[in-house]
Amino acid sequence: MIQISALPAFTDNYIWLLQDHRSHRCAVVDPGDAAPVLAWLEQHPQWTLSDILVTHHHHDHVGGVEQLKSVCGAMVYGPANEHIPARDIALNDNDRINVLGWDFDVFAVPGHTLGHIAFYHHGQLFCGDTLFAAGCGRLFEGTPEQMYTSLERLAALPADTLVYCTHEYTQSNLRFAQAVEPTNADIAERLKNVSQLRANAKMTLPSTLALEKLTNPFLRTAETSVKEKADERNGRNNQSGSDVFASLRSWKDTF
């Protein structure tokens, strides 16, 4: 049995902690800061950090990797096409790894960065900064077409898949989603629920793909209302889903 919980880092990052209660080994995903992980390990001396999973090279996701590896000797997995500090295993699209007894499929999901990867074990998706709750990552390196394709790939996973993204952006993302679809009752309901959680300093993750498909505009580019709003925003007829996505992402960048 693997338990998944979050270690908050910086202002809005989450470092995902996976605990195997049979072996008392644990793994972390995207440790941008070693301090929260080391503090947890100090408070739980019976646990050993054996694995570190990295989705992309940005500092708030890799800043703690080298220190954690030096202290714990953990195995570091990360994308082959990016510079990942202290990486032991370089991962490419469609690779499979076994961590804590779970098989993870590796998906290349370029867009936020060119080498970005996601880790998927049936029912659980660790997607870094590609798919957010009610949103998606900025395009720092990739093209709108690449990010659109990456999001469509993730959206094709089973609807009950839990989405473990790495930032607490849900409330602000839902405000944008409501601007895109002001009459979407699912968005209004989710924003109400999320606002209550945040008012009580509670996290809003993980999400599910089913909920994302109802409330995330970047997964709803085929909806007529979303396309019409995108057309209105950039004053042209967006012919493809990736065109709609590009219009929405450009709008979100300045929202």
The domain segmentation of the chain, as residue ranges, is: 2-222
Say whether 121 is catalytic.
no
17-67 tens-digit pLDDT: 999 999 999 999 999 999 999 999 999 999 999 999 999 999 999 999 999
Q: Output the pLDDT for position 234.
A: 85
pTM score, whole prediction: 0.97
Q: Are 248 and 217 in contact (CB under 8 A)?
A: yes
| CATH 3.60.15.10 is right for the domain spanning 2-222 | yes
Q: Average pLDDT, whole number, for the chain?
A: 97
Token pair for 76: 């570091």
Which pLDDT does position 236 carry in this prediction? 87
> Which H or E element spans position 239?
none
Per the annotation, does 231 bind a ligand? no
Is 167 a catalytic site residue?
A: yes
112 catalytic, yes or no? yes
240 contact partners, CB below 8 Å, separation of at least 6: none
3-state SS assignment for residue 237: coil
Q: Are 241 and 222 in contact (CB under 8 A)?
A: yes
**How large is the average pLDDT for residues 103-126?**
98
Percent of the chain with pLDDT over 70: 100
CA-nearest of 76, 31, 72, 69 to 52 is 76
Rounded CA-CA distance 67/160 in Å is 35
Active site residue 24: no
Averaged over 227-247, what is the pLDDT?
A: 94
Query: Is residue 129 marked as binding?
Result: yes
